Chain A
Amino acid sequence: MKRLIKLEWKRNRLRTYHIAAVSIFIFLLAMLFLFAAIPRLEPTDTDMGPFLTYTGITSLYNILGIASFAIFSSVLAARFVVQDFTGPQALLLFSYPISRSKILWAKLLLVFGYSVLANLLCGTTAFCLFFVSESLFPLSTASIRIEDMVTAFLSLLCSSIMAGGIGMIALWFGFRKRSISVTIIAAVILAVVCCQFLGVTLFLPYLFFSLLVPVLCCAFLAGKSLFRQIKKMEVSLHDRTRV
């Protein structure tokens, strides 16, 4: 399995995805500082609840992170799984004496792992920069508490896994339709629904975790269905695969 993941990693050009992850990081970092500065920019506005505490600010960051990295994950999944298994590459892929399930496992682990790690890395760096900056030159009027930081990092962990899970569910839709765009659109819709729910739970960070379970259950079922489809897939006429 390790060998297959390494091969997938090496044979695909990942530079574009590294650049995309860095771009998302810059955008999210800017938003994090903006969230902290909003109460200063609009001092007369009374509806500033989420921007007045560090838990609120970091939760908003995590919601944006879920949306961004869910789409990022779906793009990766579309490229690594949908394109490879349903395009002309399928002919090559299925000509190797390797179990189809193993190939799919390697791809899913790479997509999920890359997306979760990129999200975690971006979030951790952003939070470290943010909290260090806030302790030196505070933008927010709130005071930094250890529990705010712990909650931020725990939420980041959950949101990273959730974004990866959304990518997997989106992949299921895209794979059924043999379409890269369907994969990405499904991720956008799912991310919007999840973020809408999470927006309601801004002041109850532990509710944040409660969405993770159904998302992961759906991702697991989506994965199981993908394995079933791959197993009985045929490389049909003119390189089009069929189930």
Chain B
Amino acid sequence: MERELIVKTEKLGKVFDGKTVIRDCTMSVEKGTIYGFLGRNGAGKTTVLKLLLGLLQPTFGEGRVFGMDIAADRRKILRQTGSLIEAPVFYEHLSAKENLQFHLAYMGYPDGDIEKALRKVKLSGIGMQPVSTYSLGMRQRLAIARAMVHDPQLLILDEPVNGLDPVGVREIRELFHCFTKEEGKTILLSSHILSEVEQTADRIGVIVNGTVVEQTTPEIIHSRYPSGIEDYFIATTEGGANT
């Protein structure tokens, strides 16, 4: 049975000051799955995620999230989406709880369960210390809690496990699996950590020089590259770069 598509882009592109940064982004993310977005530095991963969130306007092509146009229905999409793009930004002088309270107020979702969100990322009992005193890992956990606290249907996460120790990475992976498999929600994440994407994602997309060159599954990668995802990634990105 074919699954509902939560994210669908067709030849999506972005030009900055005459330079084409995204040439052809054609991808689809099914409901209830984790989509891992891979690419080298500067390949365009973050730009694609920003396009989907309406932080950038597409120059050409089409993008749909929940069946809505990313350019025209930005606010409707954002209401149902949680995001983490680049280094997380907070109200530094406020505590984790206060940050989430403000987030919920801005999202127009006052009934969000802050304690539950903090518990999920193992930050419960953090107290009222300001976010400015948090370590990189704590900030990353809080950013993930913020992305989830308003109960979104889709998470768009740029390098979500940055700064986390191996235990933290594992906890967040389990959290993501719970989010998709038990709650039926969807995650689109980008990462540099190949092994992490391999273990987390149900489907993998590779972007090379602004073009999504391949969408596949970890199983297919394993069958083609028994030595591991690293060989696949290098072969794909170098092959894609030459195309």
Residues of chain A having any CB pair with chain B under 8 Å: 3, 7, 10-11, 13, 88-89, 91-92, 94-99, 232, 234-239
Contact = CB atoms under 8 A, between A and B. Distances in A.
18 contacts: A10-B102, A11-B94, A11-B102, A88-B87, A91-B55, A94-B55, A95-B53, A95-B55, A95-B85, A96-B107, A97-B74, A97-B79, A97-B108, A232-B57, A234-B56, A235-B50, A235-B55, A237-B47
A100 B55 CA distance: 11
Given A88-B89, A95-B83, A7 B55 contact: no
Given A99-B75, A234-B55, 5 more contacts: A7-B102, A7-B106, A95-B55, A97-B78, A237-B46
A91 B106 contact: no
Given A11-B102, A235-B55, A236-B16, A97 B107 contact: yes
B89 A91 contact: yes
Interface string B127-167: 00000000000000000000000000000000000000000
Q: Which 10 A-B pairs have the closest CB atoms?
A: A97-B78, A235-B55, A97-B75, A97-B79, A96-B106, A88-B89, A92-B89, A234-B56, A11-B102, A11-B91
B55 A98 contact: no
A10 B101 CA distance: 11
Nearest to B83: A95
A238 to B, nearest CB: 7
Interface string B45-63: 0110010011111000000
A228 B47 CA distance: 23
A3 B86 contact: no
B60 to A, nearest CB: 15
A236 B75 CA distance: 19
- Give the interface centre of A11, A91, A97, A235 by most chain B CB atoms within 10 Å: A97
B126 interface: no
B178 interface: no
- Give the interface centre of B50, B53, B76 by most chain A CB atoms within 10 Å: B50
- Give the interface centre of B79, B83, B89, B102 by most chain A CB atoms within 10 Å: B89
A13 B92 CA distance: 11
Contacts of B54: 94
Contacts of B76: 97
B234 interface: no
B222 interface: no
Contacts of B93: 13
B56 A238 contact: no
B198 to A, nearest CB: 27
A239 B106 contact: no
B57 A96 contact: no
B145 to A, nearest CB: 14
B105 interface: yes
Interface in B27-58: 46-47, 50, 53-57
A234 B89 contact: no
Nearest to A95: B83
B56 A95 contact: no
Contacts of A7: 102, 105-106
A98 B87 contact: no
Nearest to A239: B86
A232 to B, nearest CB: 8
B164 to A, nearest CB: 20
A91 B75 contact: no
Nearest to B54: A94
A94 B16 CA distance: 19
B17 to A, nearest CB: 9
A7 B91 CA distance: 12
